[in-house]
Amino acid sequence: MAGTQASPEPEASLAANGHAGGNTSLSGNPATQSLCDVPVVRRASSYGRVDDALLRRLQSIVGDSNVTTNRTVLEQHGRDESYHEPMPPDAVVFPQSTHHVQQLVAACAARRVPIIPYGAGTSLEGHVAALCGGVSIDLSQLSQVLEVHAEDMDCRVQAGVTRQQLNHHLHDSGLFFPVDPGSECTIGGMAATRASGTNAVRYGTMREAVLGVTAVLPNGQVIKTGSRARKSSSGYDLTRLIVGSEGTLAVVTEVSLRLFPQPEAVSAAVCPFTSVAGAVDTVIETIQTAIPVARIEFLDEVQVDAVNRYSKTHLELSPTLFFEFHGTAAAVEEQAKQVSTIASSYGGGSFQWSTAPEERSKLWAARHSAYYAALALRPNSKGLLADVCVPISRLTELVLLAKEEIRQTQLVAPIVGHVGDGNFHVLFIVDPDDQAELAAVKRVNDSLVAHAIAVGGTCSGEHGVGYGKLPFLESEHGRAALDAMAALKAAWDPLNLFNPGKIGQFIPP
């Protein structure tokens, strides 16, 4: 170990290598890895090593079969669903309880070994990459639905429960959990990343859905935040702080969630448009008319083509909107009529309706598979996803900008989006070994983010920061706010053990 400085080496290396914000390269380029200067940090740093003594200690906590250094398992735990290069941890552990997690954290902290919480590995910006090595704590075996209070419409689940598992559990209760990102992800991961989905326009995101968490802090203490009350004015909102902290402040082991009633009537529709602007303007007017649409999703013609090929649908090859309406039968009919009137005034074609559950499921499954459909356009490719979110009145401008820049560079880049929230994704489908292509993609992405921030938006509506979006944070938040984040992180995690190299890691230049 390299000595006993008060501040851990990685932060000193960050200062030495310069703030990541000045560096705009993609994964694979050593400069990105200088976030905690991985090769240097692993060799000579104030972080401890995962040695046999630690492994034995970890085994004594969770059992021999729940600790592994198997190369394949390590690689899997350092990888997510993005273009970012996998960065495996040194060991993976599988706790069975909050108490286990607490002991694991204490054992690692005593030896200054980094910790990376892991749900299902479906993140999109290298969230689980073990930039400084360490121990991956895989929460998947905390997979119990603990309590469902139908009378108060809330529940409590362990962090490893997936959203599909929860909804299956609830399916005859009259309630459902609406946050639906495209993947099969864990509730703990969704809380840690402040996830969102296609239902956000009506039902909100994890920001609103999480009532409280049980979490293990870097100092080894277990806290239980929030209460089952729907509102509270009592103290700092630790729940809101932890939700979206991406494993840098706490390891979430349990989540209390708000549930919603199953809608009485549901109908879904697909509408093709003669232009991108027409489709997006329809969305804007729908939102500005305060029609409580449950889902409103945009797919450009490139994405529609990808979806048709992948999911065997037969959608018209035009910019398209997918809608879903929830409510009483009368309300659904009324909303549908209002929206179709707006759509036809912007060049919308005829609506294709689906009411039967299996038809609607097929439609939304096709939408949810958009990313995989896009990847399938180019075998052996990886995805770099833009995730800008802007005030709705500026959305058409941003989407048209994206289309134009893509057209000029001739990239394979379908566009899909939760346009009702002002959020859209450009799915840049890249050959990860083609540096020239990656550079072109970067330029377009940077341009979109800069525009989004300039109109009061954000670089990440829902995919989070991981380490891929760190370079954009200063222009979005400003130095002072980033310093405030770093101060919080330093207070909660002075040894910088929890998912180091990600958000909260900022050193003044």
Binding positions for other proteins, rule: CB under 8 A: 171-176, 261-264, 356-358, 361
Return the number of the residue (171 or 443) whose C-beta is nearest other proteins.
171
Return the number of the residue (65 or 380) whose C-beta is nearest other proteins.
65
In DSSP notation, 152-183 reads TTEEEEETT-BHHHHHHHHTTTTEE-----SS
C-beta of 301: minimal distance to other proteins in Å?
A: 29
C-beta of 305: minimal distance to other proteins in Å?
A: 27
Listed in order, strand segments (DSSP E) in 332-422 are 352-354, 382-386, 415-418
Contact assessment for residue 324 and residue 203, using Cβ atoms and an 8 Å cutoff:
no
C-beta of 179: minimal distance to other proteins in Å?
A: 17
Question: Position 82: which residue type?
Answer: S
C-beta of 236: minimal distance to other proteins in Å?
A: 35
Q: Helix and strand tally (H, E) in the chain? A: 20, 18
Identify the CA nearest to 202 among candidates 286, 319, 281, 304: 286
Close Cβ partners of 257 (under 8 Å, ≥ 6 residues apart): 154, 155, 156, 157, 166, 177, 187, 209, 210, 211
Return the number of the residue (360 or 378) whose C-beta is nearest other proteins.
360
In DSSP notation, 415-474 reads EEEEGGGTEEEEEEEE-TT-HHHHHHHHHHHHHHHHHHHHTT-BSBSSS--TTTTGGGHH
Integer Cα distance of 302 and 293 in angstroms:
25
Return the number of the residue (219 or 361) whose C-beta is nearest other proteins.
361
Coil, strand, or helix at residue 280?
A: helix
C-beta of 369: minimal distance to other proteins in Å?
A: 17
C-beta of 180: minimal distance to other proteins in Å?
A: 15
C-beta of 67: minimal distance to other proteins in Å?
A: 15
Return the number of the residue (261 or 509) whose C-beta is nearest other proteins.
261
C-beta of 434: minimal distance to other proteins in Å?
A: 33
Bridge pairing between strands 352-354 and 320-327: unpaired
CB atoms within 10 A of CB 341: 12
Return the number of the residue (175 or 307) whose C-beta is nearest other proteins.
175
Largest interatomic CA distance in the chain: 71
Sign of CA dihedral 233, 235, 239, 243: positive
C-beta of 141: minimal distance to other proteins in Å?
A: 17
For 472-484, the three-class secondary structure string (H helix, E strand, C coil) is HHHHHHCHHHHHH
Return the number of the residue (104 or 170) whose C-beta is nearest other proteins.
170
Return the number of the residue (39 or 261) whose C-beta is nearest other proteins.
261
Contact assessment for residue 197 and residue 179, using Cβ atoms and an 8 Å cutoff:
yes
Return the number of the residue (3 or 357) whose C-beta is nearest other proteins.
357
